[in-house]
Structure 1
Amino acid sequence: MMHFLRKFSNKTVLIRAATLAAAGSGTFCFATSSGHDASISISMPSPFRDSLAWPWRTIEGTIPFYSFKRSNHSQYGLLPLSFSKPDNVPDTNISKGAAWDAGDSPKHCCNCLGRDTIANAAARIGPAVVNLSVPQGKSIGSGTIIDEDGTILTCAHTVVDLLSKGKVEVTLQDGRSFEGTAVNADLHADIAIVKIKSKTPLPTAKLGTSSKLRPGDWVVAMGCPLTLQNTVTAGIVSCVDRKASDLGLGGMHREYLQTDCAINPGNSGGPLANADGEVVGVNIMKLLGADGLNFAVPIDSVSKIIEHFKRNGRVVRPWLGLKMIDLNDMIVAHLKEKSASFPDVRRGVLIPMVSPGSPAYRAGFRPGDVLVEFGGRPIESIQEVIDILGDKVGKPFKAVVKRENNVTETLTVIPDEANPAL
């Protein structure tokens, strides 16, 4: 690098710019591409840059652009020297670097994990995280205040015994305590609502969205493990759609967020938050005998459950009596290899089993059917069937299935209401 600077025709200007970037907590990057070009990128925070005596445009116009050809190290041509403005952040004491590509203009590094990212997320959601305990003082779990009217989101297994009678003591992070009442619970999804009344304003947490999460995203788990209130742990999303069947849990279709945040008894019902401090899940369980295998109910599913509570007082789930498997190219190829009579489909939902006496059995579904249309819409996944069903019980739905040798049948199925215990 120093050899290069010695050859630089206007090294004084270059060194001055690099020194300014360093003094302003910026970044100075030197990069070479696989070809013959090289580039130097300098990034400095806007507060420092704006305080310079030099007008910014004057700097850009003053610094000449040079480069060298690696094919002949004795000759130096045009080296682009570029400045990039770091992304704005709430705390001006924290600067974000700029990512760069050799030979191209520098690109900003958005969503970088900074020194205060986890702390800021915890600070946003922390005041709304509560400890739930029975009047005798025994901690039973955690929860999150999601509405100023005193609505607390938690998991069903912590309060199910208190639905018909009994009260739960709710303790906030600031030390205030309230007597709460369990008003709704969905045992299938393990989600419940507790209510408290307060004459003073209550802190609340913002609900985010879980559909945008990706494996590797940072998340924060909060709660009161082993009665230790105001506990924060952090980790990443390990899987965004871990199926209940993967965990050996039978019954209806369920999916969980899998994380490696540290979860212990007492975290149940507490929030899983994203880096913005928004609730993206409700922590409900961990895998015993294993580290970093923890599971939360996605907040998108929780939001639908809350809407059911408001509309019906309970969660209404239609039941067809079908076991279903999403098809993809690999599964279809395998089934075709096993049986040449398997229908010519690329996508759809395979029906490997039909429960005797169920609505699907009465409608004429058979094991081996491939569901390709439901409710007048093409079907490629189980989730699409669930979304079309919604909470419609007793309403007929048209279903188109493909059978062996490409026989197509149109069936009419009328779903029953599912048993909540399933």
Structure 2
Amino acid sequence: MQFPFSQFPRQIATYVFSILLGAILTAGVYRVLPSQAGVAPKKFSSYQEAPALLAQSTISRIPETAAGSFVTAAVNRVGKAVVRIDTERTVNRNPDPLFDDPFFRRFFGEELPRGPMQERLRGQGSGFIIDKSGIILTNSHVVNRADKVTVRLKDGRTLEGKVQGADPVTDLAVIKINDSSDLPVAPLGDSNEVQVGDWAIAVGNPLGLDNTVTLGIISTLKRSSAQVGIPDKRIDFIQTDAAINPGNSGGPLLNQQGEVIGINTAIRADAMGIGFAIPINKAKVISSALARGEKVAHPYLGIQMATLTPEVAAENNSDPNAPFEVPEINGILVVRVLPNTPAAASGMRRGDVIVQIDGQAVETAAELQRIVDSSRIGQMLEMKVQRGRETTSIGIRTGELQEQS
């Protein structure tokens, strides 16, 4: 069959026109689709098409500012006020008694050390400036027993710091630096406004890596120090999954607006992705007193306690080796009464179950601790106690907790 050459130019023109029309439509679609905000959801013919769009929609939810992400803006607002704290202290250590053995010295020489030996220990943490006069907030354990404190600012300045005051019970301390230049100050937020799920930004100098920023969320609130595993403290922590490592202690935990909502502190060696911070409102209450060098007084009762439920009590009572039987109720079990304490003087006994304080029902040890913490030194607290099958009332006048040496 012969090809009709008379139709060839017409077919070529048709093909060329189709190609040009397709190119124009493709270019038009490419220019319009990426910038449209109200495009109807795409119906995927197969699940393989979905991941790219899902990733794009996830990224678009992160709040941004003109300068970049909210994290950038928050860190820019606070970063210059975050400092590194280097500490040194001298420790006297007694040599091994073997060094004083005449037989041992006969063979190893008289050059062996005699008497106490001095060792220089160094530590490192973080802090942040809260006042232009040079007031810095950090953790008490960062500066504990330090002979020398050196503060390094982000702009490179190195200044000598003086510990104005420290409170081991809340793990807070205030350092003062003297500098006539204008110091950056970290804005303080309101930790009472923090909610679970809020963004959390940790800033500090972990592991000697200065000016490190990590991002996470608020995991939970009012996590008691007893639950965290440090019963010698009296803090209801903010828990976060923002990475907090050694050296972060004393640094700020920020909210999305770049305000300090907590002081990074406790980390558990056996935890993965869990960190804790002291609420900034707690620090606001006592930082002024610490800056003046005043001691912070803490009321106490003098008991070791545990939360009791009917299930826990039943399990205890079914154990033939249990030290004593307890009422199968909700309350706070007195595990031990410490000697020479207000609780001992009032007649509180081991095995008592506290169910009310001043007419207010209490069911957890954390609740009881918060009530005691908010009381005054010397205040009388009336407690309703279940003792075996009997109910009795005990009045305890709070004492002042003394620092352990």
Please give the alpha-carbon distance, in whole angstroms, between the structure 2 residues aligned to 1:358 and 1:184.
26
Cα distance per residue 1:100-157 (max 9 Å; x no partner): xxxxxxxxxxxxxxx6022122112111101123599x77221111122221011122
Aligned pair partner of 2:69 in 103, 106, 116: 116
Alignment of 1:6-405 (within 5 A): 26-30=37-41, 91=65, 116-134=69-87, 140-162=124-146, 166=148, 168-251=149-232, 253-288=234-269, 291-306=272-287, 308-309=289-290, 313-326=294-307, 331-335=309-313, 348-375=331-358, 377-389=360-372, 390=374, 392-405=376-389
Cα distance per residue 1:346-405 (max 9 Å; x no partner): 5x4333332244211221222333323324544344454444433622333222223333
**Structure 2 SS opposite 1:122:** helix
1 or 2, which has the higher helix percentage? Answer: 2
**Structure 1 SS opposite 2:217:** strand
Please give the alpha-carbon distance, in whole angstroms, between the structure 1 residues aligned to 2:233 and 2:167.
13
Please give the alpha-carbon distance, in whole angstroms, between the structure 2 residues aligned to 1:291 and 1:345.
35
Please give the alpha-carbon distance, in whole angstroms, between the structure 2 residues aligned to 1:279 and 1:409.
46
Of structures 1 and 2, the one scoring higher in RCO (CA 8 A, sep 6+) is 2
Please give the alpha-carbon distance, in whole angstroms, between the structure 1 residues aligned to 2:195 and 2:76.
23
Q: Identity across aligned pairs (percent)?
A: 35
**Structure 2 SS opposite 1:302:** helix
8 Å Cα contact 1:286/1:295 also seen in 2? yes
Given the superposition, is the C-alpha separation of residues 210 and 251 from structure 1 closer, same or farther in structure 2, using an over 3 Å criterion?
A: same
How many residue pairs match? The answer is 321
Deviates more, 1:317-326 or 1:246-255: 246-255
Q: List gaps (5 residues or longer) in structure 2.
A: 1-29, 44-59, 89-119, 319-324
Task: Specify the code of the residue in structure 1 equivalent to 2:258.
Answer: G
Task: Specify the code of the residue in structure 1 equivalent to 2:310.
Answer: V
Task: Specify the code of the residue in structure 1 equivalent to 2:72.
Answer: A
**Structure 1 SS opposite 2:142:** helix
Q: Which residue in the other structure is 1:64 paired with?
A: none
User: How far is the alpha carbon of 1:172 from its aligned partner?
Assistant: 2.0
Please give the alpha-carbon distance, in whole angstroms, between the structure 1 residues aligned to 2:184 and 2:295.
26
8 Å Cα contact 2:171/2:233 also seen in 1? no
**Structure 2 SS opposite 1:286:** coil
8 Å Cα contact 1:256/1:298 also seen in 2? yes
Q: Which residue in the other structure is 2:404 paired with?
A: 421
Task: Specify the code of the residue in structure 2 equivalent to 1:332.
Answer: P
- TM-score normalized with structure 1 length: 0.64
Please give the alpha-carbon distance, in whole angstroms, between the structure 1 residues aligned to 2:87 and 2:191.
31
Given the superposition, is the C-alpha separation of residues 321 and 127 from structure 1 closer, same or farther in structure 2, using an over 3 Å criterion?
A: same
Please give the alpha-carbon distance, in whole angstroms, between the structure 2 residues aligned to 1:324 and 1:292.
29
Given the superposition, is the C-alpha separation of residues 337 and 385 from structure 1 closer, same or farther in structure 2, using an over 3 Å criterion?
A: closer
**Structure 2 SS opposite 1:161:** coil
**Structure 1 SS opposite 2:130:** strand
Q: List gaps (5 residues or longer) in structure 1.
A: 1-18, 33-85, 95-114
Please give the alpha-carbon distance, in whole angstroms, between the structure 2 residues aligned to 1:235 and 1:252.
25
- Aligned-pair Cα RMSD in Å: 3.8
8 Å Cα contact 1:218/1:275 also seen in 2? yes
Task: Specify the code of the residue in structure 1 equivalent to 2:394.
Answer: L
8 Å Cα contact 2:70/2:256 also seen in 1? yes
Cα distance per residue 1:149-176 (max 9 Å; x no partner): 22101112222223xx54x232222233
**Structure 1 SS opposite 2:290:** helix
- TM-score normalized with structure 2 length: 0.66
Structure (1 or 2) with the larger CA radius of gyration: 2
Please give the alpha-carbon distance, in whole angstroms, between the structure 1 residues aligned to 2:168 and 2:343.
24
Task: Specify the code of the residue in structure 2 equivalent to 1:26.
Answer: A
Task: Specify the code of the residue in structure 2 equivalent to 1:140.
Answer: Q
Cα distance per residue 1:34-72 (max 9 Å; x no partner): xxxxxxxxxxxxxxxxxxxxxxxxxxxxxxxxxxxxxxx
Q: Which residue in the other structure is 2:46 paired with?
A: none
Cα distance per residue 1:216-262 (max 9 Å; x no partner): 43211111223332221122334434443445434355443333333
